[in-house]
Amino acid sequence: MAENTLEVSGLTKRFGKVLAVDHITFAVQAGEIVGLLGPNGAGKTTTINMLLGLIKPSAGSIFVFGKDLQKARRGILERVGFSSAYTSMQSRLSVWENLLVFGHYYGLPRPQEKIRGLLSEFAMDGLGQRLYGALSSGQRTRINLVRALLHDPQLLLLDEPTASLDPDIASRVRQFLFSIRDKRKISMLYTSHNMEEVAQMCDRIIFLHHGRIVANDTPLALTKTIELSVLSLRFDGSPQAAQKIVAEKGSLLEIRPPNILTAEVSTDRIGELLTAFAKSGITLIEVDITNPDLEDVFLKFARKGQDEPDPH
C-alpha cells in the first residue's frame, strides 16, 4: 500500500458563525495527483490556506510526510511548493531578482542554475530581466509555478496552474508536471476550473460543497454517476414516428428541420433506442452520442447545492 504524503482528518474552520470547512477527511498518496474541486465558496481556498499553515484550523489535524503540520510547520514547508494564479511577487523587482530571493530563501546551493533551467522549461528564457509587474497574467502564472518548483518539493499545492496560458504552453506545463511526478513520485493537490484538464491530470477528485466533501473518486467513476447521454440523430422518415420512439426510450430535447432530433437517453438504453429505429424502418443517416463528462459532474453537484438550503 502506497505511503500517504498528506493526511487530513476532521479538518474544520469557522469564521465567526460561518462554517467554511466542515470536518473533511482525505489523504493524498505519494505520487498521486488529486483534484480539489467545487464552486466558488465551497472551501477550497480555506483548505489550501490551512494546509500551508497560513490559517489555523478550528478543529481536526493535518499530517504531511507523517508529521503534524502544527508542530513541524517549518520543516514540512521546506518540502512543499505552492503555486497560484492569484498570488503575486514584488512588482518592482525583475523576474530574476524575485526568483533569486526565493532561491536563497530555500538555501539552494546554485539557484541561478535552477532558475535558468525552469525558465527555459516553460519557454521564458528571455523574461529574466523583465519587471515582474510588467508581465502578462499568463507570464505571471508561469513565474509563480517556477517559484513553487525551485526547491524540488515533494508535495505541490497547485491553484489554477495553467490559468491564462496559451494551449501549447498549458500542455507543456502539464507534461512537465507528469514528468516530475513520474521521476520523483511527487504528490499534487490540484484545483482548476478547466474540467478537461482535471480529467486529464488527476488520478482522483475530491468535490467540496458548503465546506463538505460530497464526492471522492476517480474521474471515470464520477462521470458514471451521470446516467444520461445526449443523442443527436439525423434520419430519413416520419418525424412523428421518430418522436414516438424517443418518447418510449428517453426524452426529446429538440427536433428541427431537416429531420434532426436531439434526445436525452439513459446511457444503458442507447442500444435499445437505436435498435428501435432500425426495426421501425426509419433510416439513421447520422448518429452523434455525447457521453457525460466531468463538467456534467461539476454541474450536477453545483446545482444540487443550489436546490438545497445551506446547512450553515
Give the residue extent of every domain in the chain. Answer: 4-222, 228-291
pLDDT at residue 1, rounded to an integer: 47
Residue at grid coordinates 523576474:
95
pTM comes to: 0.85
Q: Residue 18: beta bridge partners?
A: 15
Tell me: the pLDDT tens digits for 76-120? 999 999 999 889 999 999 999 999 999 999 999 889 999 999 999
Same fold: 4-222 with 228-291: no
CA–CA dist 260, 187 (Å, integer): 47
Q: Which pairs from 49-56 meet CB under 8 Å and 24+ separation?
A: 50/11, 50/13, 50/21, 51/6, 51/8, 51/157, 51/189, 52/77, 52/80, 52/82, 52/157, 53/77, 55/13
Q: What is the distance, to the nearest Å, from the Cα of residue 85 to the centroid of all Cα atoms in its chain?
A: 13
pLDDT at residue 112, rounded to an integer: 94
Q: Which three cell numbers stand for residue 301?
A: 453537484
Q: Are 118 and 177 within 8 A, CB to CB?
A: no
What would be the CATH architecture of the domain defined by 228-291? 2-Layer Sandwich (3.30)
Mean pLDDT of 177-202: 95
The percentage of residues in the chain with a pLDDT greater than 70, rounded to a whole number, is 96
pLDDT at residue 2, rounded to an integer: 61
Q: What is the CATH number of domain 4-222?
A: 3.40.50.300
Q: Are 159 and 81 within 8 A, CB to CB?
A: no
